[in-house]
Structure 1
């Protein structure tokens, strides 16, 4: 699916412009961007595997990106559970 088509579909799905919906959509986009950053970081590790020091630095960057992505998913999941509980 082309990126533009996907983004358009997401905007329709998120619907109204309420502050809560805007925040959820913003968090959704942030997680998408972070996932792309993880992919780029992984590609950098692959590209630099000939140079041991550069590969180590790229690997550390990748690990940090994945850790941040996990935190974002965890926060989104907690937010979703709170909304379902009515808190």
Structure 2
């Protein structure tokens, strides 16, 4: 008698948790899309090794690069950020 009740309760709680996570994912995607519409990125994008990279080309003189964000991932994966190694095509 108690086993069917517990399995029903566990199933209901699991369904509620899945719906909660799904709603958080949808809300995050909606907020990100709204933010990009309201504040479009300045600069251009280039694709390097299948990754979409944002850059801003300013000033004159020798090229230099400033890599920010996810630097630890670059170090772990063995890729380095180097100036002038990628050329934009657009």
Indicate the TM-score class for this superposition, using the shorter chain for normalisation: 0.3 to 0.5
Give the structure with the higher percent helix.
1
- Structure number with greater CO (CA < 8 Å, separation at least 6) is 1
Give the structure with the higher percent strand.
2
TM-score (structure 1 length as normaliser): 0.39
Computing the radius of gyration over CA atoms, which structure comes out larger, 1 or 2?
Answer: 2
